[in-house]
Structure 1
Amino acid sequence: MSQLREFLHLLNHAFRNLLPIILVVSVFQFLVIRQVPDAWLPMAVGLLVVVLGVALFLHGLELGIFPIGKNLSNEFARKGSLPLLMVFGFCLGFAAVIAEPALIAVASQAEIISEGRISGLTLRLLVAVSVGLVVALGVVRILLGHSLHWYMIIGYIVVVIVTFFAPAEIVGLAYDSGGVTTNIVTVPLIAALGIGLAMSIRGRNALIHGFGLVGLAVMVPMISVQIYGIIVYSFGEAREVAEGIREAVDPEVSEVVHEVAGSVLLGMLRDLMIMFRDVLPIIAVVLVFQYLVIRKHVAHLHKVMGGFVLVIVGLYAFVVGLKMGLFPIGQSMAEQLIGLDRWIFVYLFAFAIGFATTMAEPALIAIGQKAEEAAKGKLNGTVIRLLVAVGVAVGITIGVHRIISGDSIHYYIMAGYTVVILLTFLSPKYIVALAYDLGGVTTSEVTVPLVTALGIGLATHIEGRNVMIDGFGLIAFASIFPIISVMLYAIAAELANRWRGTES
């Protein structure tokens, strides 16, 4: 009975996460566009399937993966073995990202739109390896007590330099790949590892040292994917993709389930097996470390196995819901708003979607609460959420303006991260790690597909735009501007405190 209550709570939680999108889309459909989309019923069913998929996925994580992951983190922290912690950090980062639903969605879209020049599987492996290495590096940083300042400053200087040389086709995708690595699976696992380590080591501050792993996990894939793009677009050739480019830009053409031997059921079974393959790395990591390294049996094994099954089924339902609901909604809204021939409504929709979805983002609520506890009165969780939501809304609006104007993403991104680097120098130390983490948790498993579809839809329906060059990048803007807004807030608060001190 308690399991059913927990699942219903997660179902409600998933619906609340989706509700801001439904409200914003409904307001624009009925008050601005004043028409109902032709395929509204499949879209509505798709949204319900997304809610169900997210709830099943989260329930599976709570039953199967999180308890083992937390237990392993505590065990390794007690052992204090640096090589063991680094290996575990790498494996945990890799396994969590390779199964990330939003990354799977973005990678598959990239493969289709690039006509096969970019391999979706290669992209996911590259991002997962990058995050694994970053988590291992982040563990060393916490153990040595290094400040995050120089890691991020040097890292983002490299990001800006690589961006200067990267082909236009890869820049938006690279930044989006960084933005989607930290969502439904990664944030709780990676954040728990960082904060747990910082709290278990004498002389470490949970706010300064515990946060930062998520921020690092966003940054490094941006570098590796752009280098991959430089190689692919210099030496690679386009190839045929089974689904073809039309499916990426026309939701009515894409099939939700591809038949196998004339059977939809066989097609669904094949897709479930693919999902099992995607989640297998997490299952393998936790079981190998549980049985071969710490050599303890898994408590409540039947619950854990049931959790793994729910993760796979939930992930499958989530992807089906994306194809039926969120992708078509994003592309349909883009087409309808462009049809009004008044760009102000496109900007308003971008701002509203950014603000509403971020305020409801569960990972942001969790990080805000953790930060408030760790800061001991210096920070307010609600203020942080408002700052981040405004940052995301402004970022997506500026990203939409870039697509409308046809400007190169290079200059926007390079300018944005130059500001971030400058603010990192000026900000008080206690806020830096948190600010970078907040930039990484702003894009949820629900927001990413909708925002990606909005960008692709705009690039598809605005004359003279290239879908690969202009369609990606909105998630990147949603990651940059929260970092800026939170750092500016901390600098302003510090100056205000000094001013009050000099007055008294």
Structure 2
Amino acid sequence: MMQDIKESVFEVLRAVLPIILVITIFKIALLRVPPSDLLLFLLGSGMVVLGIALFLTGVKAGLLPVGEAIGSELPARGSLLLVVAGSFLFGFLTIIAEPNLRVLVDMLDAVPGTGIPAVPLLLAIAVSVGFVITAGVLRIIFGFPLAYLFVAGYGAILLLAPFSSPEFLAVAVDAGGITTGLLTIPIILALGAGVSAVLAGRSALTDGFGLIGLASIAPILGVMAMGLVYP
């Protein structure tokens, strides 16, 4: 476990060190912040590196195997209702736990006069992702082309966009990036890999992947739909 943590720390450090160096240079050369502020920034950056490293280690050790196990077990049970319910619940709860969603909600709360309530927004995004993940899992099981779901999803976005208010449209587009978070990507990928692994004639590459792209459509649709019904 300690070796895994060390590897994660170095991996995260390689990713974030350039931006830390750039910000440090800006703080010293342009902003001329006092040493105490610079020290706080460096301390916070170190905590971010360690936190992400521990998070990634936990995902690899605990959540990825669970995602693959659930993905492989759902089709094996032979119940379509169980597949639908399990996939929806899996997608719903994964997004609820996604840190990126919390960041979006906190940013909206920090902006006065947005008029977009936090709890309905959370539910709209989570429910929409749950439905789309369910559709993606059913696609793997029944084997119809992935392109059909993308055409339907983006077609619905184009149809809803003219009727969405500017506020909800802007939030909807940004909400699409929620599904590219640290928690969502590995878990949903593991779910797709698990489902495709137990089905004869399915490829882990062509069938197991694609759920992340589908999931990115869901928050846009969910927030747009919320904007149509919310006063």
Query: Please, what TM-score do these two structures have when normalized by structure 2?
Result: 0.88
2:171 to 147, 152, 173: 173
| Runs of 5+ unmatched residues, structure 1 | 236-504
Match of 2:208 in 1: 210
Q: Distance in 1 between matches of 2:143 and 2:107?
A: 40
Structure 2 CA distance for aligned equivalents of residues 136 and 72 of structure 1: 13
Partner in structure 2 of residue 82 of structure 1: 80
One of 222, 225, 228 as aligned partner of 1:224: 222
Letter in 1 for 2:48: V
Q: What letter matches 1:170 in structure 2?
A: F
Which has the larger Rg? 1
Correspondence list, 1:455-494, <5 A: none
Deviations 1:87-128 (A, max 9, x none): 221111111110111110111111231436222232222211
**Match of 1:124?**
122
**Paired residue for 2:60?**
62
Q: Is the 8 A contact 1:147 1:209 kept in 2?
A: no
Output the CA distance in 2 between the equivalents of 1:35 and 1:114: 27
Structure 2 residue 47 is matched with structure 1 residue 49: yes
Quote the offset at 1:35 in angstroms: 4.1
C-alpha RMSD of the superposition:
2.2
- In structure 1, what is the Cα distance between the partners aligned to 2:143 and 2:99? 33
Contact 2:161 2:169 in 1 (8 A): yes
Q: Secondary structure at the match of 2:205?
A: helix
Task: Give % identity.
Answer: 35
- 3-state SS of 1:207 partner: coil
Is 2:190 the partner of 1:192? yes
Q: Answer yes or no: is the 8 Å Cα contact 1:147–1:208 preserved in 2.
A: no
| Kept in 2: contact 1:111–1:117 (CA 8 A) | no
Q: Deviation per CA, 1:167-221: give whole Å up to 9, x if none.
A: 1112221111111123211111111221332233223333332221111111021
Distance in 1 (alpha carbons) for counterparts of 2:201 and 2:177: 31
Read off the aligned partner of 1:36 and give its amino acid letter: R
C-alpha change, 1:40 and 1:162, in structure 2 (3 Å) is farther
Describe how 1:127-146 pairs up with structure 2 within 5 A: 127-146=125-144
How many equivalent pairs are there?
Answer: 229
Structure 2 letter corresponding to 1:16? R
Counterpart residue number, 1:36 = 32
Q: 1:146 to 1:85 in 2, by over 3 A?
A: same
Q: Which residue does 2:159 correspond to in 1?
A: 161
For 1:54 and 1:106, the matched residues in 2 are separated by 18
The CA distance in 1 between the partners of 2:14 and 2:78, in whole Å, is 40
**Which residue identity is paired with 2:102?**
I
Which of these residues, 94, 97, 105, is aligned with residue 96 of structure 1? Answer: 94
Runs of 4+ in 1 over 6 A off after TM superposition: none
Partner of 1:73: 71
Counterpart amino acid of 2:121?
L
- CA distance in 2 between counterparts of 1:91 and 1:230 reads 25
Check whether the contact 1:89–1:135 (CA below 8 A) recurs between aligned residues: yes
If the length of structure 1 is used for normalisation, what is the TM-score? 0.42
